[in-house]
Amino acid sequence: MRIKEISLRQDPDLRKELALLARGCDFVLPSRFKKRLKAFQQVQVQTKKEETLPPSLSQTIPTFYFPRGCPKEKVNIDAVIAKIERTFSQFPNERATLDDMGKVAKACDCPLYWKGPLFYCAGGERTGYVSVHKFVAMWRKILQTCYDDAAKFVHLLMNPGCNYLVQEDFIPFLQDVVNSHPGLSFLKEASEFHSRYITTVIQRIFYTVNRSWSGKITLTELRKSNFLQNVALLEEEADINQLTEYFSYEHFYVIYCKFWELDTDHDLYIDRKDLARHNDHAISSRMIERIFSGAVTRGRKAQKDGKISYADFVWFLISEEDKKTPTSIEYWFRCMDLDGDGALSMYELEYFYEEQCQKLDNMAIEPLPFEDCLCQMLDLVKPQYEGKITLHDLKRCKLTNVFFDTFFNIEKYLDHEQKDQFSILRDSEGESPEVSDWERYAAEEYDILVAEEAASFHFVLGSTEVQLPKSWICNLSFSLHEKISKISTNLNWFRLWIFCLEKK
């Protein structure tokens, strides 16, 4: 029997018995009424599911999420494409090589050093050139789907199917910078050091931009950073050392020399004993163990083989010399958070302070009792919750370097103890925001290395003593180490000989 889809009020039998039920009559509905009631309820549920919002309501909410940038209404894509085609017409067979891509980048209204990513994204790496038709098709698609510089840059560098950048994606872009930037021209004769410089720059990019520590730079992270602004400055600044946040060769030189001093077997890996020798054993052994535990390193080599790579050392050295940046605070917080609960307990602070007391005893210096030290640190940080220090507390503190050095760097701890705390706070507030602790350290260390090189590069030609200019010392400074000295024996030595003849 087919059940008709009718309302309860149109069924007189069911309506009558429901009225009796409302008056308190005790009865059981016949099975046919149960079926009708069940069918009615099912029809009502299906009707509710099919109901949709009126069109007027959905149209009143404007689009507010643009993952690839907010579309610009006034962009004339056809005019941009016509400009690109005119640029390609200047090249033989309308094909552009990598050397020609600077003009193409300008036709696309992009910074000059986007030329490498533009070339490789259009398939130039396979053929050695890019045809006008293939490039126009690629760039038209980008203009139609990417509406800001961050989205375009990520699209040019990323692997197909991804919406983020990993470390390997930056290698072709940075190799082109090394090959073509005038501030790195002396590295052309030192091809074996290209990868070292590129590794350093990549680690500095991820150190600053990848705030999530995921190893993947997203569009949001790239937009919030100043990396693309620094890429644009590569064209305007001939001195690469002025770009201190990512590309400085002097900073690379300082980092690599510090690593080379520790890497005794020169396999580009260092173990616990090697890292402990940094800064004359200033870092506590317990902190060294935490660094090798995998709390702040990528991959499993640190835990499996007990070694960290040069890339890991870049993060360590920058964090060690500048403990005020968000990434360095997170770096050392991860190391000190032994149980990984997101807070530093008093037990964890005491665990690291015990070794500091032992070192002070060995130096015949009476250590401050932990209770007194703890009171000082709590007054310094002013944690929001009693009995624990969170990452948010440390990021609000202006003297995080004093806090961290107290628990695992004996040399810097003693330096802080010799200064008045109020003067330290006053100095930190009065420092120029344009110069970070890392930049100050790198500049001082580079001057020391240059001075050492200057002392070793005094030449006597006949009765004339010749001292190299600082710029030449920079180029010849590889000779600090046996492997690097091979570079100084070719073109640079020839230039030096010519210079000596001219002086005589």
CB 355, CB 284: distance < 8 Å:
yes
Residue 137 has what DSSP assignment? H
Contact assessment for residue 169 and residue 228, using Cβ atoms and an 8 Å cutoff: no
pLDDT at 485 over 70: no
Q: CA angle at residue 313 from 310 to 319, to 5 degrees?
A: 155
The dihedrals phi and psi of 96, each to the nearest 5 degrees, come to: -110, 130
Per the model's pLDDT, the better-predicted residue between 297 and 198 turns out to be 198
Contact 103, 121 (CB under 8 A): no
Tell me which amino acid residue 323 is: K
pLDDT at position 463: 42
Instruction: Give the whole-angstrom CA distance, residue 267 versus residue 247.
Output: 24
The token duo for 416 is 């802080």
> Is the predicted pLDDT of residue 494 greater than 80, yes or no?
no
pLDDT at 394 > cutoff 80: yes
- pLDDT number for residue 187: 87
Helix/strand/coil for 368: coil
- Determine the average pLDDT of the residues in 80-93: 94
pLDDT tens per residue, range 35-51:
666 776 776 666 655 55
Residues 195/268, Cβ–Cβ less than 8 Å: no
Cβ atoms within 10 A of the Cβ of 411, count? Answer: 13
In the chain, the amino acid numbered 57 is: L
Contact call for residues 228 and 149 (beta carbons, < 8 A): yes
More confident residue, 456 or 155: 155
Per-residue pLDDT band at 62 (split at 50, 70, 90): confident
User: What tens digit of pLDDT does each residue of 251-304 get?
Assistant: 999 999 999 999 999 999 999 999 999 999 999 999 999 999 989 987 766 666
Tell me what percent of the residues of the chain surpass a pLDDT of 70: 74
Q: Quick check: 90 pLDDT over 90? A: yes
Query: Residue 483: what pLDDT?
Result: 37
Task: State the DSSP H helix or E strand holding residue 102, giving kind and residue range, or none if neither.
Answer: helix 101-107
* Mean pLDDT comparison of 59-73, 163-177, 421-435, highest-scoring range: 163-177
Question: Are the C-beta atoms of residues 14 and 30 closer than 8 Å to each other?
Answer: no
- If one counts every other C-beta atom within 10 angstroms of the C-beta of residue 230, the result is 17
The answer to whether residue 482 scores a pLDDT higher than 60 is no
User: What's the confidence (pLDDT) of residue 479?
Assistant: 41
Residue indicated by tokens 């993947």: 216
For 287, 339, 349, 475, the CA distances from 293, given in Å and listed in that order, are 10, 12, 18, 38
Q: What is the mean pLDDT of the chain?
A: 83
Of the pLDDT bands very low, low, confident and very high (cuts 50, 70, 90), residue 6 is: low
Which pLDDT value is given to residue 207? 97
Q: In this structure, are residues 156 and 146 in contact, taking their beta carbons and an 8 Å threshold?
A: no
Judged by average pLDDT, the poorest of 46-55, 71-80, 490-499 is: 490-499
**pLDDT at residue number 475:** 47
Q: Is the pLDDT assigned to residue 102 strictly greater than 80? A: yes
List, in order, residues 6 or more apart from 31 with CB less than 8 Å away: none
User: Cα(469)–Cα(450) distance, rounded to whole angstroms?
Assistant: 10
Q: How many Cβ atoms sit within 10 Å of the Cβ of residue 154?
A: 22
pLDDT of residue 499: 42
Q: What is the pLDDT of residues 304-338, one digit of tens each?
A: 688 999 999 999 999 999 999 999 999 999 999 99
Question: Residue 72 carries which DSSP code?
Answer: P
DSSP 426-472: HHHHHS-TTS-HHHHHHHHHHHHHHHHHHHH-EEEETTEEEE--HHH
CA 316 to chain centre: 14
More confident residue, 92 or 74: 92
pLDDT, position 452: 80
Give this prediction's pTM. 0.79
Q: What integer pLDDT is reported at residue 250 of this predicted model?
A: 95
The phi and psi torsions of 389 (rounded to 5 degrees) equal -120, 120
322 phi and psi angles, rounded to 5 deg: -140, 95
Structure tokens at 456: 């070793």
Degrees, nearest 5: CA angle 14-18-22: 175
Among 66-70, 128-132, 213-217, 390-394, the least confident range: 66-70
**Mapping DSSP to helix (H, G, I), strand (E, B) and coil, where does residue 67 land?**
coil
**Helix residue spans in 237-369 (DSSP H):** 249-262, 272-276, 285-291, 301-304, 310-321, 326-336, 346-362
pLDDT at 188: 83
Amino acid letter for position 200: T
Q: Which residues contact 261 (CB under 8 A, 6 or more apart)?
A: none
C-alpha count within 13 angstroms, C-beta hemisphere, residue 302: 20
